[in-house]
Amino acid sequence: MRPYGTPPRGAVAILRWAVGQHAVADGIVGDLSEEFHERCRSHGRRAAARWFWREALRVALRFRLAPDRARHRASGGGIDGERRRAIVDWREDLAQAVRSLRRAPGFTSLSVGILALAIGTGTTMLAAFDAVLLRGLPVADADRIVTVTLRRGSGAALALSPDDVDEVRRRSRTMDDVAGVSSFGTASLPVTEVERPLVLDVAMVTPSFFDLLGARPELGRLIRPEDGEDGAAPVTVISYRTWQADFGGDPEVVGRRLTTTQDQRSYTIVGVAPPGLDFPIGADYWTLYFPRVSLNLVARLAPGRTPQAARSELLSIASTLERVQAGPGPVDASVASLEEAALGDARPILTTMAAAVAILLLIACVNVGNLLLMRATRRSREVVVRRAIGAGYGQVARLFLVESALLGAAGGTLGLGLAMALLRVLPALAPLSFPRTEMIGQASSPVAAALFVALLALAVFGVLPALAAARGNLASALRVDGRSGTGTRGRRRVQRFLVVSQVALALVLLVGAGLLTRSLQRLAGLELGYDVEGLAIVEVGIPFSEYMGSGMGVMFGEVFDRLRAVPGVTSLTPIMSRPFLGSLGVVRATPVPEGRSEVDVEGISQIPLEIGDHEYFETLGIRILRGRGFTMADGEDARRVAVVSEAVAARFWPGEDPLGERLRLIRDDWWTVVGVAADTRFRGHREPTPTIYLPWRQLQVIPAVTTVAVRADRELETVLPAMRAALHAYDPDLYVWRVDTMADYLADGPLAQPRTGALVLSTFGLAALLLAALGLYGVMSLAVRERTHDIGIRKALGASGAHLRRAVLRDALTMCVMGGGVGLVAALSLSRLLESLLYDVGPADPLAFAGASGVLLAVAVVAAYLPARRATSVDAREALRG
Amino acid sequence: MTTKHVGELEHLILLAVARLGPAAYGMAILRELAEHADREVSRGALYLILERLVEKGYLSPRMGEPSPERGGRAKRFFELTDEGREALRVSGRSVLALWDGMEFLLEEGR
């Protein structure tokens, strides 16, 4: 297997076509491939592919333009007369089609525009979908790789020690190999590369991790089992994304070093992982685990073994592990495919977006088909004349087909350009938490996808009208007044069908948009339990290894006091970690209330601990419901105190007063409950987290608290310089490495995906609505125009304007109601797909359905009203003159 | 102008082929020109001229062994034919004849 795959096939094909002679082309393609592989090694595959395209096109152009090419080709065999005539025919058709499209600039630009938009977005989604979801992970036999999470019966994840992982590895029969991955997934930490500070997400793995995956490096090598031996130099592998973003794709990156700021560990970069290896999600670099890091399992199943077999074997091995026996409650294991683990929760939203794009594309095709059909109607005379002077059915159909093809080609080309631009910006628009976004950039140029989409569109919208138009009705169309007769009834039925389906499809999108928007509203409107306004989270880089020992608590205390003194800071507290970090940010403990034994609390999951100082509740704006928060007096030597959240109080002391009760938390220390705080959504957004708060100074081991919450009475930007200066003055090695407002944490974290989803679907919904309205308007206009004669007679016979207007409107509304009915039924069954994306909104939410129907109806009435009004202004004499 | 005369780029390419001997194929020729003649020739031009020289009978193509890094494609080697050698000789001589006595121009640019 070649490491870098083949050069872009499209470019090779173009080159071969341009050069013609097989042997010559082979030599050139071979030369270019050779250099392509060198460039893959030095510049990365993407740059190499770009280079290949450029060079191939240049060479192709040279060969095509060369004057002696004709001679070349002529010797290869001439074109016989038969074929030449056919080509000339097609050329004539083409020229004629161009002329006729040019004569109708409005129609042409509208259809091309609609097609370009639809093909552009369709292609983009197809390429992104293909890259992120369908293109396999860069590992060998991905279907045999699984991730395993052990859980207590109560739901808390149970991580294993490196020794446990070894034990499982030794004893397993169902798994060929077992490796460990840091149970926290990835952790964002400040590091320096020479003098350059970076913030990168580290994942920790056991030495056989990459071997188990069967991944191949993009550059250099990956971590090997030898790296885990005693005395081996610490090494790291960086992700493709990091290589591109933070090292500029530098081919010399191997050998450079990353040094962690906090504990000054230094790692030599030995290689770059292949693009798309986003596991654990968000990993910027991988190092070997530290001895105390707890791990989750990733395993390669033995051939023929099922995940279920591995799960039951694992459970039996796990039951003998000390760590598992020590804790309360039964243990369960869940096994997920690597793909599920690496895609996280991105799949439903991507699937939704892809489905939405497909619907939009369909609407666009139907719309353009409708436009073509109307145009064909207007040209019915032309058709009939052509047929009358001897043109066959096929010839006329061909003319229309060539026109459709031209429109498709123009729309396709523009759409391709749009898609390429969109693909470039898409990775930047995707929420930060999106996995594998670098794969979008890796998506092979979307030519194939665009071609596919355009062909599909052509087949849907081009063929039908061509056939319908070519049939033409001699008798009716040749009548002097050009009025329609029964021959157009079939065509009109097709048109109505098209309008009805557009309305139905648009409604499906609108309902989807409505549901996601409602869900977003619910999420954004959640009672958080803390005050977002004016709250910021600041992370301080502290090389605390220099302060190890008893001096650390003093140092932290002094640092906090200095920061508190900064003008504009109203209050400040150390906190455990920044919000929404999932299991990483939290330390858990199993509390045992006084007077009860551990047996009683069995089944109670571990409860997250938060730490803070006397300004904690004030800074975060968490309400104290009973008792008090922390004070300055809750120091190292004072009585151990705790504040519990509402949920914790309700769980341990239902209906009782928790104040004064004691809890055993860590080792044998007793903590007295002095306050009850309101529930918060600081760790997780969708559910409040039951929490026990402790004063940070009272923990037995002073923790390295490098994250502080700051409440300021002015803009963060104006406070920050003084904070940086205060840190620098205390110790030049201290610095702020990350700072974000709480509002940003909410927007980029739990609200990012819902917002993207709602935004995208709403945009698509609006576009669909517009297109459907356009279709309705077009059909109604045509109907009014066709029936001018009719209407004239009615008017002459005394029908009032209002009466006629109502008739036209009724007609339009009938179509709308039909389309709406079909759409509602379709939406009801499709919205179930959205269920996993919805929060506190049912997939059949009546408000979303009613809202979408209402909007659709309102727009439809407007779209139908305009032609209806024209009907009433028909002048009877004019209409009847013929 | 006799048929034996070749253009400047053709001349350079023939020379590069002669210098490379049995190792003369597209990429090598391109490199040779870049390194020794300081000429960045576009690939398109090079391949086109190579084929033109084949057509004129100055070069004869020969297929090498296919290799994996070329995607299983063979190299297209070129070697001078007797006519090619003659053409090179003719234009080389005329160039050298004209240079005779003008070598100081080469020095001035240094």
* pLDDT tens figures, A738-770: 899 999 888 888 888 788 888 888 888 888 888
CA A387, A389, A394, A399 dihedral sign is: negative
Please state the φ and ψ torsions of residue A616, each to the nearest 5 degrees: -55, -60
Q: Is the pLDDT of residue A800 over 80?
A: no
Instruction: Identify residue A865 by its one-letter amino acid code.
Output: Y
A110 and A101 in contact (C-beta within 8 Å)?
Answer: no
Shortest Cα distance, chain B CAs vs residue A138, angstroms: 21
Task: Identify which has the larger pLDDT, A518 or A151.
Answer: A518
**What pLDDT shows up at residue A601?**
57
* Per-residue DSSP letter, A133: I
Q: How confident is the model at residue A481 (pLDDT cuts 50, 70, 90)?
A: very low
Q: Are A342 and A203 in contact (CB under 8 A)?
A: no
A37–chain B nearest CA distance, Å: 7
Contact B43 A55 (CB under 8 A): yes
Shortest CB distance from B76 goes to which of A26, A33, A61?
Answer: A26
Tell if the CB–CB gap between A62 and B63 is shorter than 8 Å.
Answer: no
Can you give the pLDDT at residue A120? Answer: 82
Of A104-113, A288-297, A784-793, B29-38, the one with minimum mean pLDDT is: A784-793
Task: Reply yes or no on whether the pLDDT at A161 is more than 60.
Answer: yes
Comparing A23-37, A422-436, A681-695, A851-865, the range with the smallest average pLDDT is A422-436
pLDDT band at B29 (very low <50, low <70, confident <90, very high): very high
**More confident of the two residues A350 and A620:** A620
State which of A86-90, A172-176, A566-570, A685-689 shows the largest mean pLDDT: A566-570
From A2, A19, A31, residue closest to B68, measured CB to CB: A2
For residue A482, what pLDDT is reported? Answer: 44
Helix or strand or coil: residue A278?
Answer: coil
CA distances from A313 to A170, A176, A305, A350, A499 (A): 12, 13, 11, 35, 59
ipTM, two decimals, is 0.86
Mean pLDDT (whole number) for A287-304: 86
**Top-ranked range on mean pLDDT: pick from A247-256, A316-325, A766-775:** A247-256
- Which of A335-339, A411-415, A625-629, B4-8 is least confident? B4-8
Cβ-contact A8, A445 below 8 angstroms: yes
**A89-93, A325-329, A577-581: range with highest mean pLDDT:** A577-581
Mean pLDDT of A595-618: 77
Predicted pLDDT of residue A76: 42
Q: What is the mean pLDDT of residues A720-727?
A: 93
Mutate to test the interface with B, among A4, A14, A24, A31 (most CBs of B within 10 A): A31
Q: Which residues of B touch A (CB under 8 A)?
A: 25-27, 42-45, 47-48, 51-52, 55, 61, 63, 66, 68-71, 73-76
* pLDDT at residue A96, as a whole number: 81
Three-state secondary-structure class, residue A545: helix
Binary contact (A26, B74; C-beta < 8 A): yes
Tokens representing A264 are 């000054």
Chain A hits for B27, Cβ within 8 Å: 31, 34-35
Highest mean pLDDT among A277-281, A447-451, B45-49: B45-49
Alpha helices, DSSP H only, in B2-108? 8-20, 26-36, 43-56, 82-99, 104-108
Give the pLDDT band of residue A475 (cuts 50, 70, 90).
Answer: very low
Inter-residue contact A223 to A248 (CB < 8 Å):
no
**How many angstroms separate the CA of residue B50 from the nearest CA in chain A?**
10
Q: Residue B63: its chain A contacts at CB < 8 A?
A: 23
A-chain residues near B25 (CB < 8 A): 27, 31
In terms of Cβ atoms closer than 10 Å to its own Cβ (0-12, 13-18, 19+), residue A402 is buried
Q: A487-526: per-residue pLDDT in tens? A: 466 667 777 888 898 899 999 999 999 999 999 999 988 9
Instruction: Say if residues A119 and A455 touch (Cβ distance below 8 Å).
Output: no
Q: Across the interface, which of A7, A59, A68 has its CB nearest the CB of B52?
A: A68
DSSP, residue by residue, A490-541: HHHHHHHHHHHHHHHHHHHHHHHHHHHHHHHHHHHT---SS--TTEEEEEEE
CB contact under 8 A, A63 and B48: yes
Closest chain A residue to B78 measured between Cα atoms?
Answer: A27
Cβ-defined contact of A62 to B75 (cutoff 8 Å): no
Task: Tell me which chain A residues have a C-beta less than 8 angstroms from the C-beta of B40.
Answer: none
Interface test with A, best of B46, B53, B73, B75 (most A CBs within 10 A): B73
- Residue A710: pLDDT over 80: yes
CA distance A346 to A436: 10
Report the gap between the CA of B85 and the closest CA in chain A (Å). 22
pLDDT category of residue A71 using cuts at 50, 70 and 90: very low
Give the confidence band of A320 by pLDDT, cuts at 50, 70, 90: confident
- HEC string of A49-90 equals HHHHHHHHHHHHHHHHHCCCHHHHHHHHCCCCHHHHHHHHHH
Q: pLDDT at residue A308 above 50?
A: yes
Q: What is the pLDDT of residue A10?
A: 82
d(CA B57, nearest CA chain A) in Å: 15
Mean pLDDT, chain A, integer: 81
Considering A342-351, A414-423, A507-516, the range whose residues carry the highest mean pLDDT is: A507-516
Task: Calculate mean pLDDT across residues A567-571.
Answer: 94
**Cβ of A28 and B51 within 8 Å?**
no
Cα nearest neighbour of A7 on chain B: B71
Query: What integer pLDDT is reported at residue A212 of this predicted model?
Result: 92
* C-alpha to C-alpha distance for B98 and B85, rounded to whole angstroms: 20
Cβ pair A276, A436 in contact under 8 A: yes
Among candidates A7, A27, A61 on the partner chain, residue whose Cβ is nearest the Cβ of B44:
A61
Which chain B residues are within 8 Å of A31, Cβ to Cβ? Answer: 25-27, 43, 70, 75
A87-96, A425-434, A821-830, B32-41: least confident range: A425-434
pLDDT at A484: 46
Interface contacts (A, B; CB < 8 Å): 74
| More confident of the two residues A520 and A804 | A520
Distance from the A62 Cα atom to the nearest Cα atom in chain B, whole angstroms: 5
Average pLDDT over residues A587-591: 78
pLDDT at A457 (0 to 100): 65
Q: Say how far apart CA B1 and CA B3 lie, in whole Å.
A: 7
With a cut of 70, say whether residue A127 has pLDDT above it: yes
Residue predicted with more confidence, A728 or A17? A728
Q: Tell me, what's the pLDDT at A701?
A: 65
Q: Structure tokens of A309?
A: 């077999």
Interchain proximity A30–B61, CB inside 8 Å: no
> What percentage of chain A exceeds 70 in pLDDT?
84
Per-residue pLDDT tens digits for A262-281: 778 899 999 999 988 888 88
Residue B11, judged by CB atoms within 10 A of its CB (0-12, 13-18, 19+), counts as middle
Helix (H, G, I), strand (E, B) or coil at A208: coil
CB contact under 8 A, B76 and A34: no
Check: CB of residue A186 under 8 Å from CB of residue A317: no
A58 and B42: CB-CB below 8 Å? yes
Q: Which residue has the higher pLDDT, A662 or A480?
A: A662
pLDDT of residue A442: 56
Residue with more model confidence, A694 or A705: A694
Question: Are the beta carbons of B25 and A27 separated by less than 8 Å?
Answer: yes
Across residues A137-141, what is the average pLDDT? 83
Q: What are the backbone dihedrals phi and psi of residue A492, each rounded to the nearest 5 degrees, phi first?
A: -65, -35
Q: Which of A844, A755, A680, A345 has its CA nearest to residue A523?
A: A755
**Interchain CB distance below 8 Å, A29 and B45:** no
- The whole-chain average pLDDT of chain B stands at 84
Q: Which residue has the tokens 């040779």?
A: B32
Average pLDDT over residues A214-233: 90
Residue B106 confidence (pLDDT): 72
Give me the residue from B27, B48, B73 closest to A62, CB to CB: B48
**Residue B26 to residue A31, Cβ atoms within 8 A:** yes
Three-state DSSP class for residue A266: strand
Q: Which pLDDT band holds residue A72 (cuts at 50, 70, 90)?
A: very low
Query: Minimum mean pLDDT among A373-377, A463-467, B39-43: which range?
Result: A463-467
Q: Of A558, A536, A553, A537, which is closest to residue A731 (Cα–Cα)?
A: A558
**Minimum distance, in Å, between the CA of residue A440 and any CA atom of chain B:** 26
Across A22-31, average pLDDT: 87
Residues in chain A: 882
Task: Kindly determine whether residue A2 and residue B69, on different chains, have CB atoms separated by under 8 Å.
Answer: yes
- For residue B70, the distance in angstroms to the closest alpha carbon of chain A comes to 5
Q: What is the mean pLDDT of residues A634-649?
A: 92
Mark yes or no for CB contact B75/A66 under 8 Å.
no
A713 touches chain B (CB under 8 A): no
Predicted confidence at residue A486, as pLDDT, reads: 44
Residue numbers in A near B52 (CB within 8 A): 68
What confidence category does residue A613 fall into, taking pLDDT thresholds of 50, 70 and 90? Answer: very high
Picking from A19, A24, A33, the nearest residue to B70 by CB comes out as A33
* A75 close to B (CB below 8 A): no
Cβ of A59 under 8 Å from any chain B Cβ?
Answer: yes
